[in-house]
Structure 1
Amino acid sequence: MQRRSLPLSALRAFEAAARLGSFKAAAQELAVTPTAVSHQIRALEAQTELVLFDRQVRKVSLTEAGAQLYPVLRDGFDAFEATLTRLAQQRTRTQVSISATNAFTVKWLVPRMADFRRLHPDMDLQLQASDDLVDLRSTAVDIAIRYGRGPYPGLVTQPLFTDRFAPVANPRLGVTSPKDLARVPLIRFDWKRPKPENPTWERWFTIAQRPLPRQASQLRFSDEGHAIQAAVAGHGIALVSLALIADELEAGHLVQPFGPVIDGHTYHLAMHAGRPASAAVQAVAKWLRTQAAQRGLETHAQ
């Protein structure tokens, strides 16, 4: 029997009658008459040339052929029901998407997901990590975390916090003063958009009024998150965002042995100006602002 000729209504009637042991009970479940169930099953028996039920006065029982067919249909219909139920639940759950840089997503957003699920168990966050700017006008992204000074035309923005950078290292390196920078590798990462105001090692040494040690070896990465991991592993000293390494500092995996601490750019919460924010999007925006404030990252005056 080919798939396109399968008598689905008859198979459904057979599965119900086999499971309930009664044509009458099957008819009640399927909201049809017992006669209709009987006709469906007889049509199935005629098409398959098999006797599927032993019919008695007050009950029916499966034949050997019926007993082989029943569990296959039962498992199949159970799988249909479970999958459709799961899909319906997914459709009814509220989802809010956030776009942010790779480092911010991994080091700041992901560690806070447990708190979000605790506060909003009926809502899902979709995190889109990319160092490329996402156009909120042509995507389904609800909230973007912009890193810079702005302005951001076409977007409604709110500052979350101003980033601050300082030298940090694994305590095993024994770095205690700026003099140690001559013997410990400097860990760098590439800024996607080079600007004079970026918190680079060159800017740090200028503010610290110290010469850049030419003899020091260096490690360079394309991503700030990789630079942070290299510092945690003890490969050198890194000039990275204190906001992104708050957990590592608290756990003692990294230490900030000296200053100065220099300002980076500001993280902004951004939404499309022409798209009204739903209640769910507003709730996520409020949660992001609360998370920033709880860690003492209130916005510095610009």
Structure 2
Amino acid sequence: MRLPSLNALRAFEAAARLGSLTRAAEELHVTPSAVRHQIRALEEEIGRPLLRRNGSGLMPTEAANGSLGHLRRAFDALADANRSLRHPATAPTLTVSAVPSFVSAWLIPRLEGFQRRFPGVTVQIGTNALPTDFHREGVDLAIRYGLGGYPGLFECRLFSERYFPVCAPYLLDGPTPLAEPGDLARHTLLHSSVLPRSGWPVWRDWLDAAGVLAQVDPDAGTHYTMSMFAYQAAMACQGVALGTTVLSMDMLAAGYLVKPFDMELPTAFGYHIVCPPESRERPLVAAFIEWLLEAAGEACTGVEG
């Protein structure tokens, strides 16, 4: 059986995945009319429509939908074959994207464990807080902080989160001790203004739950665009940060930070492992996911203990 044009198959896969001829054209570095022509030719050769309009976008027909996973795996296999031909002696590579503070505070201190288990694997870590375009960016797996729900992707919750004040040990018994939540009025609040969305851990909610919102200005203090900056300022005795379970766990365990109060609040936000379903089937990606879940379980056991 003669196979359809590879360019036509690639145009169809890109348009179905991205839901747009224009975006598919941008990814393939051709014009939208070229993508339309390739898909029309493929539909004529196959003998059935492959895409249909869905509002302002495109989606695969029911008949075509089942082929997309096979096509993506085939293109991935072709890309792997191309890399093997060009670089036959290179080690297998795993490309991971994650939010910057998570990489700095949690992943890097533990990554050696994966490298010991898989010494021949090259791990490339990139930082990005925005949604990942796995195919365009060449990313195998991402770790995202959010509410969950990533349509069309495999996802697995890595950590749930709670939040609470943290500070340097010196502040507990310093000139203005932190004996009760109301004492925060005499200290600088350190803010992490990364995602100003509902449910994001903020001082206003914690102070309100502690019953001291009328005493402490929830917006005063120093605002940072990256969580780790707030932690670093807290360790330098520059104020009190709002810590979260994952980012603060190692700093608390090492004694660089302490929790002046017992009250913790839950948040719907958490860390999620995300990747295309076909990537999940790759042995190296599956091994990294297994290691992440194992390391997360050990970390949580240490916190609870």
TM beyond 0.5:
yes
- 1:149-185 CA distance string (max 9 Å, x none): 2211111101111022110000111233212201110
Q: Secondary structure at the match of 1:117?
A: helix
Deviations 1:277-297 (A, max 9, x none): 311111111011111100117
Contact in 2 for aligned 1:169/1:234 (Cα 8 Å): yes
Alignment of 1:243-258 (within 5 A): 243-258=246-261
Q: Please report the TM-score for the alignment, with normalisation by the length of structure 1.
A: 0.65
Aligned residues: 210
What's the counterpart of residue 230 of structure 1?
233
Correspondent of 1:259 among 259, 262, 279? 262
What one-letter code is carried by the residue in structure 2 that aligns with 1:272? P
Q: What amino acid is the match of 1:235?
A: Q
Query: In the alignment, residue 166 of structure 1 is paired with which amino acid?
Result: F
- Picking from 221, 224, 229, the partner of 2:224 is 221
Q: Contact between 1:100 and 1:146, CA under 8 Å: does it hold in 2?
A: yes
Give yes or no for the alignment of 1:171 onto 2:173.
Answer: no
Contact 1:182-1:215 at 8 Å conserved across structures: no
Q: Determine helix, strand or coil for the equivalent of 2:106.
A: helix
Report the equivalent of 1:242.
Answer: 245
Greater shift, 265-274 or 285-294, is seen at: 265-274
The structure 1 residue matched to 2:156, chosen from 155, 158, 161, is 158
Give per-residue Cα distances to partners, 1:24-61, cap 9 Å, x unaligned: xxxxxxxxxxxxxxxxxxxxxxxxxxxxxxxxxxxxxx
Q: Gaps (5+ residues) in structure 1?
A: 1-86
* Shift, 1:146, TM fit: 1.8
CA RMSD across the alignment: 2.2
Q: Answer yes or no: is the 8 Å Cα contact 1:165–1:261 preserved in 2.
A: yes
Q: Which has the larger radius of gyration?
A: 1
Partners of 1:151 and 1:290 lie apart in 2 by 22
Moved more, 94-103 or 256-265: 256-265
Cα displacement (A) at 1:125: 1.3
Question: Matched residue of 1:198: which SS?
Answer: coil
Separation in structure 2 between the aligned mates of residue 188 and residue 133 of structure 1, nearest angstrom = 23
Aligned equivalents of 2:133, 2:124: Cα separation in 1: 16
Instruction: Give, in whole Å, the separation in 2 of the partners of 1:266 and 1:216.
Output: 24
* Equivalent runs, 1:1-302 vs 2, <5 Å: 91-174=89-172, 175-192=178-195, 194-212=196-214, 213-214=216-217, 218-264=221-267, 265-275=269-279, 277-296=281-300
Give the TM-score of the pair, scaled to structure 2: 0.64
| Paired residues of 1:144 and 1:269 also in contact (CA < 8 A) | yes
Q: C-alpha distance in 2, partners of 1:216/1:204?
A: 12
Give, in whole Å, the separation in 1 of the partners of 2:148 and 2:123: 26
Task: Mark the CA change 1:96 to 1:215 in structure 2 (over 3 Å): closer, same or farther.
Answer: closer
Partner of 2:65: none
The alpha-carbon deviation at position 133 of structure 1 amounts to 1.8
Secondary structure, aligned partner of 1:228: helix
Alpha-carbon offset, residue 195 of structure 1:
1.6
DSSP 3-state at the match of 1:122: coil
